[in-house]
Amino acid sequence: MKTRVALLLLAATAVAAAASAESFEKTVPVPRTGVARLNWKSGQCSVVLVELRNYPESEDIEKARKSDPNDHSWVWWDFNVENRGDAKCKIKLWVEVLDKDGKVLKQSDRSDTVDAHKLDDNIKVSTRMKTIDIADAPKAHLKAEITSK
């Protein structure tokens, strides 16, 4: 029985050692017209940058302010990722959109696997939120966990 327990512990330790995870986080200005460089790297896997897609047009923001404060918009946080290694890696991403007081207005997350030798891939995290909220949000808190083998 002791031998069996020892073997199970040894196997669990080997699995844990085979896959290592690193966590990253950063608060950035909402990248309305550009990108936020992240350069998070674990082993051969990395999250290079994030770009905000489908940000509401100024006309939509004005309409929401004047006549439709409950108008909602879908925005996508498009993370550019790459894997220069020989094995797949897993990336989990979190986005928290913050108000002027630093409180979370909206949060969303997504996990995906990046194939080996994939140098230009994307993981999109979607957030549906009030148009006025995304227009007025000054910052976003971004987090990632990269698990590589």
Q: Would residue 107 count as lying in a domain?
A: yes
Q: What is the pLDDT of residues 71-112, one digit of tens each?
A: 999 999 999 999 999 999 999 999 999 999 999 999 999 999
Strand partners, 147: 21, 90
The domain total for the chain is 1
Q: What is the pLDDT of residues 1-42, one digit of tens each?
A: 555 544 444 444 444 445 689 999 999 999 998 899 999 999
pLDDT band at residue 52, thresholds of 50, 70 and 90?
Answer: very high
Residues 6+ apart with CB under 8 A from 127: 74, 75, 76, 77, 95, 97, 106, 107, 108, 134
pLDDT at 19: 67
CATH of the domain at 136: 2.60.40
Whole-angstrom Cα distance, residue 92 to residue 95? 10
Between residues 19 and 118, which one has the greater pLDDT? 118
Expressed as residue numbers, the domain containing 121 is 20-148
